[in-house]
Amino acid sequence: MMSFLNEYGSDLLLKTWEQLYISLIALSLGIIVAVPLGITLNRFPRTAKVMISISSMLQTVPSLALLALMIPIFGIGKFPAIVALFIYSLLPILRNTCIGMEGVDPSLIDSAKGMGMTRWQVMLQVSLPQALPVIMAGIRLSAVYLIAWATLASYIGAGGLGDFIFNGLNLYQPELIIGGTIPVSLLALLTDFLLGRLEQKLTPVNLRDGGEDE
């Protein structure tokens, strides 16, 4: 282990940063697009079903095939990898946003309207906080997927820890395979843990611990 770190330590830091950079940019774009879209589609159930179906179809395309499809359109490098991962990030976030908004207790919305809140106030102060745990679950799932799938981005020259793994496979060097696999797994676990803590802090008190009083 020490010999691996001595030889590849600087490369490991660089590849880990590339893995995080690609994944987090794609996830951020997914959140920016999918959450507002899911909130908007909550008012149009039929359109929501169509959009979720389209996202599901895109999700069925093999990740390596989608990455390869990006090459003739955007070339090679980080940009096509981010575009492909962004497409993959949409379904979990969009689906959970729609489900979360649909699951808000109608009596809470009626009470808010009865207090004179505007539509935007109801959405921002009532509906969205109540739906947040479900939305965050979709974001966590998408984040773990993207960190894992970003490994394949090395096939199109995007860098990342996949370089270690595929070089190890090509050169029959197990230490490179392990040196890439373990950091990817740790990144996915750490990201899920941190987003879980963020979800706990953002979740309204009445929804924590199954809605029990603390």
Kindly report the three-state secondary structure assignment for every residue of 92-129: HHHHHHHHHHHCCCHHHHHHHHHCCCCHHHHHHHHHHH
Q: How far is CA 162 from the centre of its chain?
A: 18
Radius of gyration of the chain (CA): 20
Share of the chain above pLDDT 70, in %: 93
Averaged pLDDT, 129-153: 90
Of 212, 190, 139, 202, the residue nearest 20 (C-alpha): 190
pTM of the model as a whole: 0.85
pLDDT at 86: 93
Averaged pLDDT, 23-50: 89
CA distance 14 to 44: 45
The secondary structure of 36-71 as a DSSP string is HHHHHHTT-HHHHHHHHHHHHHHHHS-HHHHHHHHH
pLDDT at 24: 93
Per residue in 148-174, pLDDT (tens digit) is: 889 988 888 888 888 888 888 888 888
| Range of lowest pLDDT (17-21, 119-123, 190-194) | 119-123
- Domains along the chain? 2-211 (1.10.3720.10)
Query: Please, which pLDDT band fits residue 193 given cuts at 50, 70 and 90?
Result: very high
pLDDT at 115: 85
